[in-house]
Amino acid sequence: MHISPYDQGNRFNHEPLRARKLLMHRYEINKLVGKTKEKGYTLVPLKLYFTRGKVKVEIALATGKKTYDKRQDIAERDAKREIDRAFRDRQKM
């Protein structure tokens, strides 16, 4: 994970690309690793923030969309695009 160096820091600034420790209980790590090895599950970082010199990450275990969900979203997006295009054309007149 890349964490930018502190701009006001000196030569003792941290290395931006070094490996970071995951501060969780071993059973929590094993549970997440087991789930991510199953088909369809992935870990997604939701939020990245600093607290008292530590970088904290909120993570979530998520599943991908099914193909019918993707098709439905694509259809909705296309319909919205057509409506926006119609409004723009109407505004030009």
**Could you write out the DSSP letters of every residue in 27-51?**
HHHHHHHHHHHSTTEEEEEEEEEEE
Query: How many helices (H) and strands (E) in the chain?
Result: 2, 2
Query: What is the reported pLDDT for 15?
Result: 82
**18 domain-assigned:** no
pTM: 0.52
Mean predicted confidence (pLDDT) in 45-56: 86
Q: Is the pLDDT of residue 3 over 90?
A: no
Query: What is the reported pLDDT for 46?
Result: 92
Which three-class secondary structure string do you get for 4-22? CCCCCCCCCCCCCCCCCCC
Q: Which residue has the tokens 């789930």?
A: 35
The total number of structural domains in the chain stands at 1
The mean pLDDT value of the chain amounts to 85
Domain extent for 88: 26-92
Mean predicted confidence (pLDDT) in 55-82: 85
**6 domain-assigned:** no
Query: What is the reported pLDDT for 65?
Result: 74
